[in-house]
Structure 1
Amino acid sequence: MLVGRDKGVVYGVDSKTLGLDEPYVHLNPVVRSVFRIDLDHCFPSWGALRQELAELALPCLPSIAVGYEDETGRVERPHLLWLLPYNQGVWFSDKDQRCRRDIMNLWRGVHAGLTNVLMPLGADPGALSNPDKIKNPLSPFWSFRVWNESLFPSLSEWAGWVDTSTSRDRMIRESAVALSGMKRTASNALFTAAQTLAFQLLGEWHRENDADYKGAVLRRDRDALAERLFGTLVGRLSAAADNPRQAQAILYRVASYAADHWDPSRASRDGSRDRGACADAVEDVQGVAARQAVGARYAAAVRRSRSADAIREAIEAARAAGEAVTVSGIARRVGKDRKTVRANWPEAEPIG
């Protein structure tokens, strides 16, 4: 059994009885029989959370809800646990050929679809990358509620209730939009720019053999990586954004996403490529051509973000120089055609 004192490092224990006092516990990663949803919101009470869940289009309430309850009864960032029927867990193995990939992908699809339904309640799509670590209902650090002891839908039944083709990358972007309160176009541009910076920084740490980075990777402490990414980039991104608080909200999601999806074994030695930058988007895509198409779309998004940054900087420079801000003038400044400049023109800026 693996347990932990926080969201990061886990360790083995000699006594399961004592281990179950710890705040976090790892589920069985080889036979997955629980869907864990991590809610980032706080709720006035357990009753308020239950009422909001009952209004969603789901077949049942979670079996268990667990989280921190303060002295006023307010519930902070709970985990929701839905159990599959007894003896119907899904076998996960990349080595044994008897293990069916279509069933593994269905499990992932249901988990993503369930997360998507719960997005209005603050479901964190970044938590899909670490589905086995839960807030331990038996730990004295948390409070919990048991809301469902009789209805346990099977995997196929769940597939009839949720969209199993839900894109995790899209959900993370949607979550960033909601968290930041920004318009979608602006949020996506900032998300892409922040994601590029995050993967570039991870690549630099990898090539430089940075001690803190190396320690976090060896411990598989993705939370430590995310915290360091946030701390390193928050000043830079806040200074470049019109609204620093919105930029920080975007970076909060990006840092977790980048830390969860960073693959040191595939890091480019020369730093010319951001390997792993769209790993989540291609995880379940079959065929080289299809995976390359996803990569091409990611690269195009990065180019659009860079074009938008260059155009915004050119507008600021033109205005500082006392020049008229026009599409033609900005196109000359950035060395791009008028069509590209118009397509990436800032929303809040009138087109001259």
Structure 2
Amino acid sequence: MFEQTCAELTRAAIDRDEQAFGTLLHQVHQAAAGVPAAELTAGVRLLAQGIAQASLDQAAWLAVMSGAIVENGADADAPGTAVMGRLLEVTTGALTFADAWAKAAGGEPPDPAEHQPSREVWDVVRPGLGDGAGPAMEAWWSLPRFALAASTVLSVSPMVRASVPDRETLAAAVDRAEDHCGQLTYVRDLLRVLDGERLLVLDRASGRGWTVVIGGIGDNFQLHTLLAGELIRPDRLPGQAPDPRWVASSLDQDVPPGTPAVTGQWNLVDVDGEWIWNEGVPADIPEVGGTRVVVLDPPPYERSWNPGRRFPQMPASLFVEAAHDPASLQGWWQRVRPATTRPTG
């Protein structure tokens, strides 16, 4: 029944049957409750066809519906591919609308959350956009829903993150449009998440190092916590082992009530001695010869932060792939500079 209703909703979207679309959208929302994950997945695979083929307005509603179903357990790959396949179209169209509005009227365009498309809006942008006014308006009002759906599918699916089309062009458009749609801040950072990335971690005090493989890490607070969980062990580095709740909630678990704040173990710096900001992301860490290098230094002062993940739906991973003794790292240590006394940048 659920799969059939999704098929009918998709057909209504592609056929632009607005009356049937509204009714069926509500029915799919109601029918999804309590449906097994396999059936939910079959349904969102059908909705993905509508996301790819329908008008932007109706595709945006299908995208949001698919995101909600994914949050209930459906596989994200099919709808995620469809959402990301149209996000550049939506974002560039919305930017076209915003630029036309600024030129004609000045100031920020009408907020899609508070206003509906109207004749008054059309009259502002039509002279500058001509026949493109309609598509640009549709993109503007669809952008928040596409951004919300994109945040969900990028969080849930490594495959979707790995297969984003026109990634650099999309990232540039998202950067430009972020001021108009706050949800795009999350999309921007999710586009930069590293999966299957090898980092070389060097401990200045011991001269030892490790190659670690990371995935799904949303910020460097999370990276710092997971590094402590892997490296502070009797056979690796001395120190106070992190609270297991900190590590678990940085991987894939909820934060248990009463969990104390995370205590930082090190000052993370790059090869040039520049501080690696906890507020940044692993993709910010500079590459040296194709390798991102993290140097562990003593903390200059005590740091603490809230446990958990910036993107709660995104499971993370970090494991040690190889250990390196000081003798094998001489070439690297010759490149490493002392840490700066204060952060720059």
TM-score where L is the length of structure 1: 0.26
- Which entry has the higher C-alpha Rg, 1 or 2? 2
